[in-house]
C-alpha cells in the first residue's frame, strides 16, 4: 500500500511537471496542464467538455443521423468560447443552457482535421447544445444495404471513430487527451437493435428506442454506434457476443474462451474497470480486425475460422481495456503507448491460456511483420515517438507502433525480470487510470519506478535509441518459435525433394503454422506446384481468411486459374484493409493484374468503409 501511494505521488508530480518533457509536448498553464495534440482544434485548458447527452435519430433512407449533442462544459475564468472539432456536419442550432441561442462560427476547413466550431459562451454557461445532421459521406459511418449483410433483409450502420473520425458524426473535442462520460437516447427503425460503447440492451426494442450510459470518462475516439438486425448470447457472467442472428452460434463457439481471457488479463494487470465485456461481430466490410470500443469490441467476421485459432485478436482488443481505454495515448504521436502495450499484453494473455510456445509463434510472426514495414517506411516513421502533425494519423498505423512497441517492452522485461516488470505495469495502469500519457511522461515514470533500480542495466537498455531513433536497436530480445522452426524444416524437406507433399506432418498445425508455411513458401512456384499444394491442403477452398489471403499472394503471382473466382469474391465481400492492401498490391505488380485489380475494385468499392476506400484509391491511382 505504502509503495502504491509513493508511486501515485510521483505520478502526480510528473503529471504536473512534465514541461520538462521533449520539446513543448505539454506546457504549464497557471492551474492546469495544456495538452498539445496537433489533430484537434480544441483548447481544453480554456474550456473542456466533461459530459455528453446525445439524442439521435438514425435515418437509413437519407443515410444521415439527426442529433443534438449537449455538452457539459468546464471553463477557466477568462475563457469565452468552446471549441469543438467538426467535419461535414450541417449545423442547425446552438443553444446555451438549453434556452439561449448562441453565436458561433466555423473555422477554415483542413483536409485531415475538418474545421473548428467556435461557440461563444457566457459566465454562467454550463451546457452547450448543438443540433446537427451528419454529412452524406461522413467518414466514420458505413451504411450497408440489406444485400451487404448476412441476413439480407435489413440495412446496417456502424461507426469507426479512431483516430479522428468521431468529429464526422458528433461535434466534439476529438482528442485522445480529453475525456467525458456520456448518455444517449437513440431512435432507430422498429425491429433493429442499437448498440454503443456503453451499457447495452440485450433485446430488441419494439419501438426502436434505446438509452445508453457510459459512466467512465472516455475520449471521443472510443464513441461507437452500431444499428442493425442483431441478437445477443452470453458466454460468461460478464461476457457475451452480439451479431447478426445467422452468425451468432458460430461467434459464440469461436469466442468461448473470452471469460478465461478476461480472468487471465485481470490476473496479470489488475481489475477490469468497465463492467461488461462483449464483442460485436460486424458484417465483413468492417475495415479493421477489431476496434476496442469500451464494453463492446467491434470485430471482423474474418476471425471466425471455426477452430478458435484467430482469437488473439480478441485478446488484443480486450487488453486495450487497460492500455488505451484506461491509460490513453495523449496524442496520435504517442500511438505506440496504446498499441505496443496492447500487443505485449495480448501475447501475455495468449501465453497464460495456451503456453509460451503459442505466444512465441505470435512474436515471431510479429517480428517478421515489423521487419517488412521497416524496409518500406520512411526511416523517420520507424521511431516509436511519431511526428504526425499536418498528416493523417492513419499514417502511424503500422507495425512500428505495434511490434517495435511490443519488442521494446519485452526487452525491458528481459533486462529487469518479469516480476519487477509486471509490478511496474500494474502500477502504471493504476496511477494513470482514466488519464492520458505521452511518451515523455511514460519514460519519466519508467525511469523513476523501474530503470533506476539498476543503473547499469539502464545504461545498456538505451531507451532514447528505442524511442527517438529509427530502426530496431541491437539489444532487442531475440524470439524463436520451436513450432515455426518445425514448419520451416518440413517446407525445406519438401522443397529439397526429401519428402513428398503428402508426407508432411501437418495434423497439429494451427492457423499460425499455416500462415508461416505460406509466407515462407518460395515465390516462384509453378502453376503445377501450386496445384499439387492445393490438391493436398485445399487452400483455395479454405474457410480461414488468414490462410486464404496468404495463399492468394502466390496464386496472383502465378496467375493460378482455379483461384481467380475465389479471389474476386473474397475482395468483393471482405473490406478488412489488412487483407486488401497486400492483395491489391500483388495484383498491381503486372499490367494485366492492374487491369484486373481495377475491374474488381469497381465492383468491390461500394462494399468498403471509407478508411479502406481511401487506402485502395491511393494505391490504384498512383
Ligand atoms: N485500435 C486498433 C484499430 C485502429 C487503430 C483503428 C488506429 C484506427 C486507427 C485495434 O485495436 C487494432 O489494433 N486492430 C488490429 C488487430 C490487432 C490484433 C493487431 C487490426 O484491426 O488489424
Ligand atoms: Zn490495437
3-state SS track over 143-184: EECHHHCCCCCCCEEEECCCCCCHHHCCCECCCCCCEEEEEE
Q: Of 290, 302, 329, which is best to mutate to test ligand 1, by the most ligand atoms within 8 angstroms of its C-beta?
A: 290
Q: Mean pLDDT for the chain?
A: 94
The verdict on the CB of residue 290 being under 6 Å from ligand 1 is yes
Which is the CATH superfamily of the domain at 50-229? tricorn interacting facor f3 domain (2.60.40.1730)
Interval 340-348 mean pLDDT: 99
161 pLDDT higher than 50: yes
The verdict on the CB of residue 581 being under 6 Å from ligand 1 is no
The verdict on the CB of residue 130 being under 6 Å from ligand 1 is no
Q: What is the pLDDT of residue 35?
A: 57
Q: What is the pLDDT of residue 11?
A: 38
Q: Which residue has the least CA distance to atom 20 on ligand 1?
A: 289
16 pLDDT higher than 90: no
Residue 337 — very low, low, confident or very high, per pLDDT cuts 50/70/90? very high
CA 342 to ligand 1: nearest atom: 11
Query: Which of 78, 124, 66, 62 lies closest to 98, judged by CA?
Result: 124
Q: What is the pLDDT of residue 10?
A: 37
Query: Which of 500, 539, 488, 341 lies closest to 422, judged by CA?
Result: 341
Q: What is the pLDDT of residue 593?
A: 97
Strand 100-101 to 90-96 pairing: antiparallel
Q: What is the pLDDT of residue 78?
A: 87
The verdict on the CB of residue 121 being under 6 Å from ligand 1 is no
Are the CB atoms for 210 and 185 separated by under 8 Å?
yes
CA 300 to ligand 1: nearest atom: 21
**Residue ranges of domains in the chain:** 50-229, 230-326, 331-468, 521-621
Q: What is the pLDDT of residue 34?
A: 59
Are the CB atoms for 150 and 225 separated by under 8 Å?
no
Interval 192-219 mean pLDDT: 98
Q: What is the pTM assigned to this prediction?
A: 0.94
Which CATH number describes the domain made up of 230-326?
A: 3.30.2010.30
Grid coordinates in use for 591? Answer: 499490367
Are the CB atoms for 226 and 157 separated by under 8 Å?
yes
Active-site amino acid positions: 317, 402
583 pLDDT higher than 60: yes
148 pLDDT higher than 50: yes
Q: What is the maximum alpha-carbon separation in the chain? A: 83
Q: What is the pLDDT of residue 206?
A: 96
- DSSP annotation string for 89-109: -EEEEEEETTTEE--EEE---
Fold classification of 521-621 (topology level): 1.25.40
Per DSSP, the three-state class of 471 is coil
Least confident segment among 74-83, 261-270, 427-436, 458-467: 74-83
Are the CB atoms for 330 and 338 separated by under 8 Å?
no
Which CATH number describes the domain made up of 331-468?
A: 1.10.390.10
CA 346 to ligand 1: nearest atom: 18
The verdict on the CB of residue 292 being under 6 Å from ligand 1 is yes
CA distance 215 to 181: 5
pLDDT tens track for 225-239: 999 999 999 999 999
How far apart are the CA of 325 and the centre of ligand 2, in A?
10
How far apart are the CA of 94 and the centre of ligand 1, in A?
35
Interval 444-454 mean pLDDT: 98
Rg for the chain, CA atoms, rounded: 25
pLDDT tens track for 244-264: 999 999 999 999 999 999 999
The verdict on the CB of residue 596 being under 6 Å from ligand 1 is no
CA 219, 165, 26, 50 torsion-angle sign: negative
23 pLDDT higher than 60: no
CA 611 to ligand 1: nearest atom: 8
Q: Which residue has the least CA distance to atom 8 on ligand 1?
A: 162
Residue 12 — very low, low, confident or very high, per pLDDT cuts 50/70/90? very low
The verdict on the CB of residue 397 being under 6 Å from ligand 1 is yes
Residue 24 — very low, low, confident or very high, per pLDDT cuts 50/70/90? very low
Amino acid at each position: 500500500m505504502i509503495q502504491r501511494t509513493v508511486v501515485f505521488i510521483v505520478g502526480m508530480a510528473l503529471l504536473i511537471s512534465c514541461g520538462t518533457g521533449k520539446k513543448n509536448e505539454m506546457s504549464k498553464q497557471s492551474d492546469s496542464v495544456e495538452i498539445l495534440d496537433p489533430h484537434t482544434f480544441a483548447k481544453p485548458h480554456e474550456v473542456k467538455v466533461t459530459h455528453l447527452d446525445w439524442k439521435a435519430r438514425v435515418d437509413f433512407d437519407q443515410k444521415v443521423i439527426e442529433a443534438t449533442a449537449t455538452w457539459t462544459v468546464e471553463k477557466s475564468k477568462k475563457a469565452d468560447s468552446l471549441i469543438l472539432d467538426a467535419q461535414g456536419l450541417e449545423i442547425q442550432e446552438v443553444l446555451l443552457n438549453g434556452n439561449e441561442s448562441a453565436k458561433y462560427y466555423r473555422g477554415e476547413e483542413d483536409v485531415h482535421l475538418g474545421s473548428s466550431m467556435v461557440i461563444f459562451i457566457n459566465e454562467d454557461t454550463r451546457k452547450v447544445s448543438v443540433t446537427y445532421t451528419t454529412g452524406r459521406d461522413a467518414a466514420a459511418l458505413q451504411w450497408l444495404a440489406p444485400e451487404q449483410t448476412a441476413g439480407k433483409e435489413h440495412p446496417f450502420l456502424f461507426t469507426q471513430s479512431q483516430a479522428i473520425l468521431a468529429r464526422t458524426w458528433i461535434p466534439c473535442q476529438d482528442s485522445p487527451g480529453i475525456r467525458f462520460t456520456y448518455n444517449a437516447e437513440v431512435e432507430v427503425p422498429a425491429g433493429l437493435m442499437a448498440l454503443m460503447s456503453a451499457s447495452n440492451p440485450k433485446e430488441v426494442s419494439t419501438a426502436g428506442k434505446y438509452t445508453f450510459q457510459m459512466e467512465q470518462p472516455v475520449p471521443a475516439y472510443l464513441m461507437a454506434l452500431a444499428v442493425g438486425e442483431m441478437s445477443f448470447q452470453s458466454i460468461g457472467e460478464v461476457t457475451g457476443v452480439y451479431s447478426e442472428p445467422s452468425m451468432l452460434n458460430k461467434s459464440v463457439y469461436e469466442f468461448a474462451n473470452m471469460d478465461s481471457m478476461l480472468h487471465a488479463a485481470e490476473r496479470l494487470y489488475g481489475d477490469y474497470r468497465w463492467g461488461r465485456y462483449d464483442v460485436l461481430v460486424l458484417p465483413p466490410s468492417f475495415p479493421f480486425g477489431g476496434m476496442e470500443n469500451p464494453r463492446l469490441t467491434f470485430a471482423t467476421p474474418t476471425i471466425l475460422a471455426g477452430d478458435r485459432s484467430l482469437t488473439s485478436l480478441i485478446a488484443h482488443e480486450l487488453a486495450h481495456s487497460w492500455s488505451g481505454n484506461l491509460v490513453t495515448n495523449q496524442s496520435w504521436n504517442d500511438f505506440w503507448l496504446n498499441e505496443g502495450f496492447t500487443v505485449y499484453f495480448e501475447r501475455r494473455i495468449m501465453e497464460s491460456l495456451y503456453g509460451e510456445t503459442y505466444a512465441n509463434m505470435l512474436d515471431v510472426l510479429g517480428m517478421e511483420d515489423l521487419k517488412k514495414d521497416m524496409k518500406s517506411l520512411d526511416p523517420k516513421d520507424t521511431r516509436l515517438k511519431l511526428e504526425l502533425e499536418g498528416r493523417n494519423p492513419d499514417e502511424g498505423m503500422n507495425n512500428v507502433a505495434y511490434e517495435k512497441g511490443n519488442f521494446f517492452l519485452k526487452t525491458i522485461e528481459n533486462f529487469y525480470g518479469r516480476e519487477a516488470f509486471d509490478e511496474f505495469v500494474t502500477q502504471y495502469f493504476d496511477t494513470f487510470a482514466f488519464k492520458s500519457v505521452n511518451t515523455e511522461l511514460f519514460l519519466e515514470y519508467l525511469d523513476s519506478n523501474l530503470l533506476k533500480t539498476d543503473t547499469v542495466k539502464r545504461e545498456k537498455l538505451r531507451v532514447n535509441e528505442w524511442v527517438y531513433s529509427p530502426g530496431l536497436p541491437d539489444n532487442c530480445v531475440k524470439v524463436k518459435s520451436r513450432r515455426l522452426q518445425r514448419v520451416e524444416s518440413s517446407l525445406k524437406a519438401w522443397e529439397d525433394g526429401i519428402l513428398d507433399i503428402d508426407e508432411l506432418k501437418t495434423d497439429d498445425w494451427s492457423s499460425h503454422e499455416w500462415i508461416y508455411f505460406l509466407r515462407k513458401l518460395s515465390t516462384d512456384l509453378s502453376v503445377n506446384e501450386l496445384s499439387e499444394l492445393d490438391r493436398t491442403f485445399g487452400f483455395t477452398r479454405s474457410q480461414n481468411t488468414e490462410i486464404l489471403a496468404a495463399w492468394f499472394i502466390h496464386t496472383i503471382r502465378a496467375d493460378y486459374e482455379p483461384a481467380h473466382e475465389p479471389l474476386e469474391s473474397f475482395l468483393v465481400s471482405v473490406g478488412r484493409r489488412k487483407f486488401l492492401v497486400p492483395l491489391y498490391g500483388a495484383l498491381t505488380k503486372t499490367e494485366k493484374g492492374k487491369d484486373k485489380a481495377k475491374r474488381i475494385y469497381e465492383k468491390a468499392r461500394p462494399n468498403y468503409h471509407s478508411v479502406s476506400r481511401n487506402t485502395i484509391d491511393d494505391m490504384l491511382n498512383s
